[in-house]
């Protein structure tokens, strides 16, 4: 798909606007549609502000800023997608609404227009089933903020044609993004593999082992993550993070590994979403103080080791189930959520036997299936193999 192709984006929220910004920066004409005219106006104002900041920082010049905004048609008319070569949907995470929208889009666009969803966890096959020409449908999952985050997950459904997959991936590669190919399974790579980063941290808190600040300190200062799990959940929004957790849990037929936490549920119900609401696991009100962590290194290492082995086990299982290649799994976690290392490479460094022993201890201690070691991990320890030579 060349630079002449018109890119459609449905939804003028932060994700949709970010995708529109990327496409326009890559010299595509863009149609950004939202039925809410107030959302459109807000999106345009925010984008102008972002571009002005980039000019100030000398990342782009004034002429480039004007050209980028000039390539975007802000519209409240979905029929304006009729000339697009691809339309990327970035609306609410609701399967019924997405299916209705894709049925409607198919009546507007040309026969060879690619229809893509930016969903973070919903079934692409299910979305594609709403279209008569379902082979044109694919998942293209950006990470927020889309212009800054390098990773994009490319998710072909069982119906997606090779031509659609190859064209979509080549387009996003051309936008200077790092693409990974993943199976159409709940959470894809990142939102599946990352579940224990939140879930195990919440469980450690609920058991009274450590408070939010101490767990975050352990994961940043000792384990090298850029953000602790509670700071990150507050940044994402507890409403969004909890909804994804519930979606993945249900989609995996209630596998205990993805069981949601009552702590997060109650925070979400209370409206304590995090930064955007002024209160989450931490208080963001003006003048509020951040609690001091307990900097006991033995405790910190116990916390970090427990969360890391759970993350590694999830990555190993994703490889075992052919969700993606080992390279794409590691790339996804370093480029999509800024992990300090690829989890499978990290596993080799720690030692697979050591990881298996830690998981078997937790499994025996709790009798909970969430701690069951991956079959692939057991096999690799038995056969004295590593992921990378």
Active site residues: 120, 141, 153, 191
Q: How far apart are CA 100 and CA 109, in angstroms?
A: 15
Query: How many C-beta atoms surround the C-beta of residue 206 within 10 A?
Result: 12
Q: What is the chain's alpha carbon radius of gyration, rounded to the nearest angstrom?
A: 22
- Which phi and psi (to 5°) does residue 125 adopt? -60, -40
DSSP 78-116: GGGGGG-SEEEE---S-HHHHHHHHHHHHHHS-TT-EEE
Q: How far apart are CA 281 and CA 215, in angstroms?
A: 12
Cα–chain-centroid distance for residue 55?
29
Going from the C-alpha of 213 to that of each of 13, 149, 371, the distances in angstroms are 31, 26, 24
Longest alpha-carbon distance in the chain: 64
Q: How far apart are CA 20 and CA 6, in angstroms?
A: 11
Query: How many C-beta atoms surround the C-beta of residue 92 within 10 A?
Result: 10
At CB < 8 A and 24+ separation, what contacts does 27-32 make? 27/3, 27/71, 28/3, 28/71, 29/71, 29/73, 30/6, 30/71, 30/72, 30/73, 31/6, 31/7, 31/72, 31/73, 31/75, 31/80, 31/81, 31/84, 32/72, 32/73, 32/74, 32/75
Of the candidates 259, 221, 268, 263, the one whose C-alpha atom is nearest the C-alpha of residue 241 is 268
DSSP 51-70: HHHHHHTTSS-HHHHHHHHH
Sorted by sequence, the CB contacts under 8 Å of residue 223 that are 6+ apart come out as 304, 307, 308, 340
What residue has token string 């224990």?
196
Of the candidates 155, 171, 164, 95, the one whose C-alpha atom is nearest the C-alpha of residue 127 is 95
């Amino acid at each position: 798909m060349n630079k002449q192709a018109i890119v459609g984006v449905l939804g003028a929220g932060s994700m949709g606007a970010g995708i529109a910004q990327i496409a326009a920066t890559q010299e595509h004409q863009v149609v950004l549609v939202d039925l809410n005219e107030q959302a459109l106006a807000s999106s345009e104002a925010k984008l102008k502000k972002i571009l002005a900041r980039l000019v100030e920082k000398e990342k782009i010049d004034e002429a480039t800023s004007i050209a980028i905004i000039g390539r975007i048609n802000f519209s409240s008319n979905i029929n304006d997608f009729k000339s697009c070569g691809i339309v990327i949907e970035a609306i609410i995470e609701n399967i019924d609404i997405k299916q209705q929208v894709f049925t409607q889009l198919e009546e507007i666009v040309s026969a060879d227009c690619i229809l893509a969803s930016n969903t973070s966890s919903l079934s692409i096959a299910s979305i594609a089933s709403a279209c008569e020409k379902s082979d044109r449908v694919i998942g293209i999952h950006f990470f927020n903020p889309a212009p800054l985050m390098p990773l994009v997950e490319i998710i072909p459904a069982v119906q997606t044609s090779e031509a659609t997959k190859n064209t979509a991936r080549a387009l996003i590669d051309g936008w200077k993004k790092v693409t990974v190919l993943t199976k159409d399974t709940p959470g894809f790579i990142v939102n599946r593999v990352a579940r224990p980063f939140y879930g195990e941290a919440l469980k450690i808190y609920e058991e009274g082992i450590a408070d939010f600040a101490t767990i975050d300190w352990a994961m940043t200062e000792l384990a090298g993550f850029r953000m602790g799990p509670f700071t990150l959940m507050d940044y994402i929004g507890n409403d969004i993070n909890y909804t994804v957790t519930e979606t993945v849990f249900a989609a995996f037929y209630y596998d205990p590994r993805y069981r949601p936490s009552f702590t997060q549920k109650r925070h979400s119900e209370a409206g304590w979403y995090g930064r955007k609401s002024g209160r989450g696991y931490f208080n963001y009100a003006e003048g509020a103080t951040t609690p001091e962590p307990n900097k006991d290194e033995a405790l910190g290492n116990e916390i970090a080791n427990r969360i890391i082995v759970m993350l590694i086990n999830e990555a190993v299982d994703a490889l075992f189930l052919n969700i993606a290649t080992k390279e794409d799994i590691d790339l996804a976690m370093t480029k999509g959520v800024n992990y300090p290392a690829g989890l499978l490479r990290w596993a080799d460094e720690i030692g697979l036997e050591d990881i298996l022993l830690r998981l078997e201890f937790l499994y025996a201690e709790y009798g909970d299936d969430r701690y069951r070691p991956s079959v692939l991990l057991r096999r690799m320890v038995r056969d004295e193999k590593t992921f990378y030579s």
